[in-house]
Structure 1
Amino acid sequence: MRQEPGKRRTADLAPIIGDIRATGGTSLHGIATGLNGREIPTAQGGTWSVVQVQRVLDAA
């Protein structure tokens, strides 16, 4: 199914997002900045935006 890779990706990102939140990145912008700072690409290989972070959080 097409949804399976997305669910795995969301699960893989959960601990990273948790760590970013624990170190002060609590806003969507802060999480996006944290993911980009760690050089973690989006599923399409780009940089993170607020909208993309929100979609990942909604899927969790």
Structure 2
Amino acid sequence: MKARRWAANLAWTVAGILIYFLCIDTFGGYPSVHSETLNLIALIVLILLGALVWYRHERRDEDR
């Protein structure tokens, strides 16, 4: 169980780093793969994930 949680945390960290690099336009400048659209989508996903983490953290404190 502990290894599974560790693997999930690692996967979330890697996904977060990838989304961060997309948001700062690291992979920008490739119009053939619609990089500007991908950057906008990544920014929206990053904001939504941040809001989800904040909401879950607030709810967890109330449950105690």
TM-score normalised by L of structure 2: 0.36
TM-score normalised by L of structure 1: 0.38
The structure having more radius of gyration, on CA atoms, is: 2
Relative contact order, higher structure (CA 8 A, sep 6+): 1
The structure with the greater share of residues assigned to helix is 2
